[in-house]
Amino acid sequence: MRTLTVKENDSGQRLDKFLTKTLKTLPLSLMYKQIRTKKIKVNRKRTEPKYILQTGDTVELFISEEFFEKDGNTPAFTRLTPNIDVVYEDSNILLADKRPGLIVHSDAKEETNTLINHIKAYLYQKKEYDPENENSFAPALCNRIDRNTGGIVIAAKNAETLRILNQKIKDREITKKYLLAVHGRVIPNNGTLKNYILKDEKTNTVKVYDNRVKDSKTAETKYRVIEEKNGLSLIEAELLTGRTHQIRAQFSYIGHPLLGDGKYGINKNDRRSGYKCQALYSYKLGFDFTTESGILSYLKGKTFEVKKDNVYFLKEF
């Protein structure tokens, strides 16, 4: 029999969710059977999968030892020398300025050199995170940015922060503003692009339509032109919806592809100028909380920006 004590980062979640994170090799069907047959209890009593864990609860597991075995692999982040540009940090959150070219999470091509692993390595070296002391939680990203887009990514240092920020993003109480450089002069110089986007999973691209088509989703982007120079326009944009490649596809659709964007534009000349990826940067983040924000109430009304020197395409203006 093993006993797990529920820690602060484990509390507030369902028992079955906790178990799937803690015992990754335990099959779901067996887990539910063990709960039903009282081989998994909470505080020595019969329980239900939907039971919400509280700090200090004990989870007693009368199950095979094989499900507790460690895989023996050293976490990938421990092999990294952390390299992150911290925009802001406190005991609950970390805002990182992700550089273009770095992927946020691992994929089939890259497992170790990711933004989240660099953040874990950074917090591990600061002794703010140790996986050996956690049952089910690890620092996590609350938003994502494409590999070749730069800008602010939010990392939660604890489970309560993660839950609050995920809800705030869902409720659109966190605003993100982008800087982008596009070809040509955009007319009018401010407004809102509104149309419909349909994603092609096979090619990982989207198509834009003026009218709704089957399976398409509404896409809205508010923008204003900041400056025009040498056949380029510098634009600030705010996503009113969050669709795949939204900004890139919409501006290409109106005849103004992003500088360096080979997926939604023709960038042979841009490449010769040194632009191998789209000129797009999530440069400003605002915490515009309008509802209860718990331990993050101190962030209400605060805005954070990246260093302008990091927005590499600003040199064109």
Tokens 């070749």 belong to: 148
| Contact in structure between 142 and 282 (CB atoms under 8 Å) | no
| Contact in structure between 183 and 275 (CB atoms under 8 Å) | no
Rounded Cα distance, 257 and 267, in Å: 9
DSSP string across 27-90: -HHHHHHHHHTTSEEETTB---TTPBP-TT-EEEE-S-GGGG----PPPGGGG------EEEE-
Rounded Cα distance, 116 and 50, in Å: 29
Q: What burial class does residue 145 get, using C-beta atoms within 10 Å of its C-beta: 0-12 exposed, 13-18 middle, 19+ buried?
A: buried
Sign of CA dihedral 167, 169, 170, 171: positive
User: In terms of residues, how long is the chain?
Assistant: 317
Q: Which of 94, 76, 146, 84 is nearest to 115 (CA)?
A: 84
Q: How far is CA 210 from CA 204, 242, 246, in A?
A: 20, 18, 14
Q: Residues 10, 97, 146, 270: which is the catalytic one?
A: 146
Q: Has 288 been annotated as catalytic? A: no
Which residues have a catalytic role annotated?
146
